[in-house]
Chains A and B, each alone.
Chain A
Amino acid sequence: GAGVSQSPSNKVTEKGKDVELRCDPISGHTALYWYRQSLGQGLEFLIYFQGNSAPDKSGLPSDRFSAERTGGSVSTLTIQRTQQEDSAVYLCASSLGTGGRTDTQYFGPGTRLTVL
């Protein structure tokens, strides 16, 4: 079956512009996660959605970052007024659930964001 898909695969933008990154999780997966991967860094957790519960936004680095998940499926990560330090690969993952046997995360290919 189809895995997690993300679009665009690459995005180049100018400092100060807004960008939207999209994630389509695996069908039937109730949990969705966004991470940021910078060169030489591990995965930085950004935000987590689970079903209809309030999202865990504790990893968002600033109020320029926001995310939503419509209809419990597709998610959009928005970065407003982009800065050069926002340049990174943004990874989306989904999992069937959040229990011990269902919380394995499956990742999309990522969106490489470059802010000039």
Chain B
Amino acid sequence: GDSVTQMEGPVTLSEEAFLTINCTYTATGYPSLFWYVQYPGEGLQLLLKATKADDKGSNKGFEATYRKETTSFHLEKGSVQVSDSAVYFCALGGAGTALIFGKGTTLSVSS
């Protein structure tokens, strides 16, 4: 069945460092791919999405490119801020009815 694998955390960075959180997927067909962010004490918010191969989703300085050849959707940001500290979830919307989530990666940014 469909699945998502994302890098284990926690990821600890200093402010202004470069961020990469790896995400790979297994799916039949052509799924949509998402990154969600969960700030402390809050629900999940959609951060960015891509619906077809080679699409680049971007929002708030974060980017991810849908790479069908490597079945990946890695999240990147050039310069993280303390306010980016959160849990990040990669998710897949495939042929089924449910979004399939990775286990989440905790990002901690210090000043």
Tell me whether A and B are bound partners: no
